[in-house]
Each structure stands twice: as C-alpha cells, then as structure tokens.
Structure 1
Amino acid sequence: MDEDKGLLDKSVEDKIIQILSKRILSTSKLAKELGIKRYILVGYLEAMKNQGKLEFHKVGKANVYTLAKGERK
C-alpha cells in the first residue's frame, strides 16, 4: 500500500505557492497556467486553505485564493 496516497502532490502545491507569491489569479487562470483542470485545482486550493496556507476571496464572480499571511515572504 502506498503510504503517500491521499496526500497533496508536493510539486503542484509548490507551483501554486510560487505563482501566488508573485501575483493574484482567478482559479481558472491559475488552472490554465498550471496546465490542470480547474476542478482538480480547486481540490488542491481547498486542501491548502484548510491547512492554513491559503485564503479564499470572492472578487466579483471570480474565486481567488491568496497566500495566507504567514506564508507570504
């Protein structure tokens, strides 16, 4: 049995943090930049939000995630 099963893919998480540390993007634009489906990205973003790494904001119709204050460099 794979002991890492169910954990976030660390490389995707690192890429999300790297991108969001430089600019704010909607979930759709972030998904395009990462080359993954939006619904898969939202799973990562929600998990990272639950871990305290990201904050969620509604900007008009767009869903936007930003780095949590403690994650900003």
Structure 2
Amino acid sequence: MAGPSQLIHGREQSQFMLPNGTSINVTKALYALRAGRTLLSFKDIRANGFHVETHCENGQEFLCITSN
C-alpha cells in the first residue's frame, strides 16, 4: 500500500469468502479505515493455494482466481 503510514491502524489475520464459497486467509492483513481501496496481494492468494490470471472479454478485463 502506497501513501502515508497514518492510514494503517493495525495488522491482523483476516478471512474472506469468494462468491463460490471458497475461503481465503490472510495472515497479516493491514487495517486501513480511510484507504481508498481494498488490497489483496498475490502472495496472499498464492499462499492459500490459488493462481491468478487476467482475461479480457468484450473489452472488459477480469481477474480470475483458480485453485492449483
């Protein structure tokens, strides 16, 4: 995350679920209340046994997360 360090309020474990029911755990998630976006690193995705690819269809780009 780029920007002032005052944005970061803490660091904890986090877990979230994708629409298909797949759960991803992040061991050191940064809590930034006023951040303009949510950040999930490729390292976190890979550590949970998933692979990330981008695909383009009809001029729209999609991020695809698949299991290894």
TM-score of the pair, normalised by structure 1: 0.35
Asked which structure has the greater CA Rg, the reply is 2
Using CA pairs under 8 Å that are at least 6 residues apart, name the structure with larger relative contact order, 1 or 2: 1
> Could you say which structure has the higher helix fraction?
1
- Structure with the higher strand share, 1 or 2: 2
